């Protein structure tokens, strides 16, 4: 197959993910909205290029008239893994809460350099204390619970029995949590600070 441009690969990834997760491919209008195109012409140009290069099959007279070629679909199905989404985690002030899995999120573990046996969970971010690391309210943080945290990592942590998402730092050998927004103070534990996992990826919703 002919090589894809960066944008063509992004469009193909979006079509593949929709086909695997929702059972249908997106319409031209949905593709245009996903990538911020003002008209469907640019979306149609990318779809035609993907057809020409052998990545899409055209189905005339159907509303959703394309599908990913079977070989590509099988690759995506092997790569995407559903991981549990354990509610939300404050990226603001620490908050005491009990987490229970609400639903799942599909991610490509291979692209993250992770194996399927990894202890991976997802947490929905609430608050704006981490905007300096481009983490905003509504993002989904992918957390590796088995990874050993190091200075500068973004971690899900339990500080004095309250959960939060912050950057791990050390001062005189003692750990504390740094906010990435000057409106928030850093968090120093009064009793204990337990890291519960390291953020390895971020999933952002497009609305």
If asked whether residues 84 and 165 sit together in one domain, one would say yes
Same-domain status, 123 and 176: yes
pLDDT at 2 over 80: no
Q: Quick one: pLDDT at residue 190? A: 93
Q: What's the average model confidence in pLDDT over 38-47?
A: 89
Domain match, 114 and 186 both = yes
Q: Say whether both 113 and 156 belong to one domain.
A: yes
Q: What is the CATH number of the domain that holds 129?
A: 2.10.109.10
Residues with catalytic roles: 129, 166
Closest CA to 132 of 174, 166, 180, 176: 180
Residue 194 and residue 161: Cα distance in Å, rounded?
Answer: 9
Q: Is 23 exposed, middle or buried (0-12, 13-18, 19+ CB in 10 A)?
A: exposed
- What average pLDDT does this structure show over 19-48? 84
Question: Domain check: are 41 and 127 in the same one?
Answer: no
| Structural domain includes residue 55 | yes
Inside any domain, residue 1: no
Residue 43 lies in a domain: yes
Domain identity same for 120 and 189: yes
Distance from C-alpha of 150 to C-alpha of 154, rounded to nearest angstrom: 9
Do residues 38 and 100 both lie within one domain?
no
Domain containing residue 195: 79-203
Our count of domains for the chain comes to 2
Tokens of 93: 């002030």
C-alpha 37/C-alpha 124 separation (Å) is: 28
Query: pLDDT by residue (tens digit) across 53-92?
Result: 777 776 655 555 555 654 444 444 445 677 888 778 887 5
Bigger pLDDT: 180 vs 204: 180
Of 37 and 18, which is predicted with more confidence?
Answer: 37
pLDDT computed for residue 19 by the predictor: 72
126 pLDDT tier (thresholds 50, 70, 90)? very high
Is residue 10 located within the same domain as residue 52?
yes
Q: Which helix (H) or strand (E) holds 34?
A: helix 28-34
Residues 63 and 135 in one domain: no
38 and 121 housed in the same domain: no
Please tell me which residue, 49 or 166, carries the higher pLDDT value: 166
47 and 124 both lie in a single domain:
no
The residue-averaged pLDDT of 170-188 equals 94
Asked whether residue 172 carries a pLDDT value surpassing 60, the answer given is: yes
pTM exceeds cut of 0.75: no
- Cα angle, residue 79 at apex, residues 78 and 81 outer, rounded to 5°: 95
- The answer to whether residue 201 scores a pLDDT higher than 80 is yes
Which pLDDT score, from 0 to 100, does residue 73 have? 47
Kindly state the percentage of the chain with pLDDT values over 70.
74
**74 in a domain, yes or no?**
no
């Amino acid at each position: 197959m002919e090589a894809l441009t960066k944008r063509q690969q992004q469009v193909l990834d979006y079509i593949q993910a929709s086909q695997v997760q929702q059972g249908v491919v997106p319409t031209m209008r949905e593709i245009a909205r996903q990538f911020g195109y003002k008209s469907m012409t640019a979306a149609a140009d990318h779809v035609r290029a993907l057809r020409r290069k052998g990545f899409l099959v055209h189905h005339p007279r159907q509303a959703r008239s394309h599908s990913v070629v079977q070989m590509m679909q099988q690759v995506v199905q092997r790569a995407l893994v559903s991981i549990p989404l354990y509610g939300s985690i404050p990226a603001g002030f620490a908050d005491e809460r009990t987490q229970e899995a609400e639903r799942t999120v599909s991610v490509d573990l291979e692209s993250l350099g992770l194996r399927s046996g990894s202890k991976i969970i997802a947490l929905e971010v609430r608050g704006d204390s981490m905007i300096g690391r481009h983490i905003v309210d509504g993002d989904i943080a992918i957390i590796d619970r088995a990874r050993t945290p190091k200075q500068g990592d973004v971690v899900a942590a339990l500080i004095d029995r309250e959960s939060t998402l912050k950057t791990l730092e050390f001062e005189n050998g003692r750990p504390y949590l740094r906010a990435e927004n000057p409106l928030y103070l850093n968090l120093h534990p009064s009793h204990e600070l337990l890291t519960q996992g390291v953020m390895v990826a971020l999933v952002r919703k497009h609305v």
